[in-house]
Structure 1
């Protein structure tokens, strides 16, 4: 809990800091990478740095946490902290890195706001930072302990034992640990980090959802990213990694996981967001679940729909499951009401349903709004974003 004195200072200065956060975060990253270029080379996503999305996500997290402290001092934003902590754990972030961030972040704040950052203001915001940092460190320590890596060394080498083509742009990689260790336990919906060495020597890291739950391998799926810039790691994996290759993989992490129980569930995805939903659906089928399951997927067309056959097969194995698919540009014969964007108003969503969402941010916003309208409780709607979470603190 923020001290009373700091609460008043942060409340008074939050508009100024929040208004300048767009200037503060680029300067922070510039300072950090100038002092430690190895972080950009081997830890931070260079693509997200180039397009600015990581900087936006950091700004949103800081502003959301500070706002929560002053507006709801009796509560801690655990959902936001959990999401960040899982991502940090998948990268092997350790407590020693937090003072480094604090140093360069506060130098950036002081440079942008100048004389407005008095000793009292700096002390108040330092308290905010360490409340957030220490909460994350504690959560990450528990995650490492649970993963059997208390020192934060979450990485292990794996050999690619199979590669499957899902669509022209999506490939699935099945990997096994080189050292013969057991396949790490994972909950349906989690992801692993994958580190690859690129031609320039950088060791870039990306997270990929586990798309199935085979007993003898980890299975994750990768969509080739094209644009400005192209996805460095996804294109490397597609173009250069086949059966027999060795990849460095993390233990599974991720807080958007399928909860146990017998209540109805709705699994909604768009595009490559179907990967964690396929993992959840395969778990339900493998365990012979009798839960009411509603699967919703939206895609450009049949050709771009990864795991299309899996969706039909897994749904068919469940006694109380149904699948609804919408295509923006159907290529074959498809009912007229399934053309366009996903329309949840057409679905029979029973009371007590828990929703799991994954896909691009516009889809998540639309799906969440439609589920709320349908009577699904806000607390029962969980979402996963691929890449920096620009919705952090907004969707709950």
Structure 2
């Protein structure tokens, strides 16, 4: 890009800040009108709740703001690349998206979309698409080089369906070809795809792998979205209501950058809310199965409404009992009776301040966006370095904390 073209792109930053979601909403509507087949690749629930439009608007804005040095966006590129490979997005899809994005810029900006501005954004988009596609090809290659790895969609059979709580059920998924599966990194997710009769569409959803890597199967632990007819909860509820032992679902290979720092022997603090404990369970099970980590201090902090909805309650209690290096602290919004290491109310790290605020400690947080932001800010305010805090927000990213 020329300096003049970069300046033209940067000049759109104020418009993107104010009207970015309007632009991305127009873009998605346009793309699905002309390429309705892509509805099978996108989470239509996130289209209805505007999460995807907002996430894309933030990404476009960040790219425009950093057009002179896109390298600062490499961590974001990494996260998006993992999401794209989990959805089997290929180079040809970038061409389709680019055509609709440039057309949307012209249609939304009207006369302000001069030929020079359109040319600048076309070059900028192609530059970004090349960067993204190249990164994703590397991820696909890495999968094919792994034992049991694959790209695209692979059929898996449900061999076990286990109720973990009043809301959460686990599914043990084995490949139908009886082959091995790629060992995921603890904390990663898989995409699962089902046909939704209500929408007449295939729909993918991401679910954290809740088991340690084992080369044979993946376990996902899914929360029922009570009373939800919104597309966002349809896949989860369909798994609960209609998918049983012996049924087949499609999975893509493990993905995600929220992973356990397995090479570190520093103390670990896991902080979760509700079903946010699932990737942390994978990390915990991996740690206790590794003899090299037998003495690593681990603190497990979890919060949910009450004991009835508390999945893996007995499992984690047993792990804590058997492993003297693990301590757990449970917060219930409704606590029937006072017990050791159980507290009434929402997760409050202030209560555990003397226990968890140690030098040279790593913190892993997973839950809804407000939950993450609250505890991330507490740790920062109490002197914890940003580099020691890892977090994952379920759904399209809206937090910009690091």
TM category (shorter chain) comes to over 0.9
Deviations 1:182-232 (A, max 9, x none): 122111001111111222542111111100126332111111124461611
| 2-structure distance, mates of 1:32, 1:283 | 42
Q: Is the 8 A contact 1:357 1:382 kept in 2?
A: yes
In the TM superposition, 1:24-43 aligns within 5 A as 24-40=23-39, 42-43=40-41
- Higher mean alpha-carbon deviation, 284-293 vs 330-339, is at 330-339
Distance 1:308 1:154, change over 3 A: same
Picking from 314, 321, 324, the partner of 2:319 is 314
- Higher mean alpha-carbon deviation, 222-231 vs 251-260, is at 222-231
- Higher mean alpha-carbon deviation, 160-169 vs 200-209, is at 200-209
1:324 deviates by: 1.6
Please give the secondary structure, in 1, of the residue aligned with 2:66: helix
Q: Is the 8 A contact 1:208 1:220 kept in 2?
A: yes
Distance 1:74 1:385, change over 3 A: closer
Picking from 328, 331, 335, the partner of 2:333 is 328
Gaps of 5+ in 1: none
Please give the secondary structure, in 2, of the residue aligned with 1:248: strand
In the TM superposition, 1:247-258 aligns within 5 A as 247-258=249-260
Please give the secondary structure, in 2, of the residue aligned with 1:275: helix
Deviations 1:118-152 (A, max 9, x none): 12222332333233322221221111111118998
Picking from 344, 365, 368, the partner of 1:360 is 368
| 1-structure distance, mates of 2:253, 2:360 | 32
- Higher mean alpha-carbon deviation, 88-97 vs 116-125, is at 116-125
1:313 deviates by: 2.1
Deviations 1:247-282 (A, max 9, x none): 111111111100122112221111110100111101
The answer as to 2:114 corresponding to 1:114 is no
Task: Determine the structure 2 residue equivalent to 1:274.
Answer: 277
Task: Determine the structure 2 residue equivalent to 1:259.
Answer: 261
Deviations 1:313-342 (A, max 9, x none): 223343422212212222343469822222
- Higher mean alpha-carbon deviation, 190-199 vs 214-223, is at 214-223
1:46 deviates by: 1.6
Please give the secondary structure, in 2, of the residue aligned with 1:96: helix
Picking from 158, 161, 178, the partner of 1:160 is 158
Please give the secondary structure, in 2, of the residue aligned with 1:383: strand
Q: Is the 8 A contact 2:86 2:255 kept in 1?
A: yes
Aligned residues: 390
| 2-structure distance, mates of 1:194, 1:280 | 21
1:377 deviates by: 1.1
Task: Determine the structure 2 residue equivalent to 1:77.
Answer: 73
Please give the secondary structure, in 1, of the residue aligned with 2:371: helix
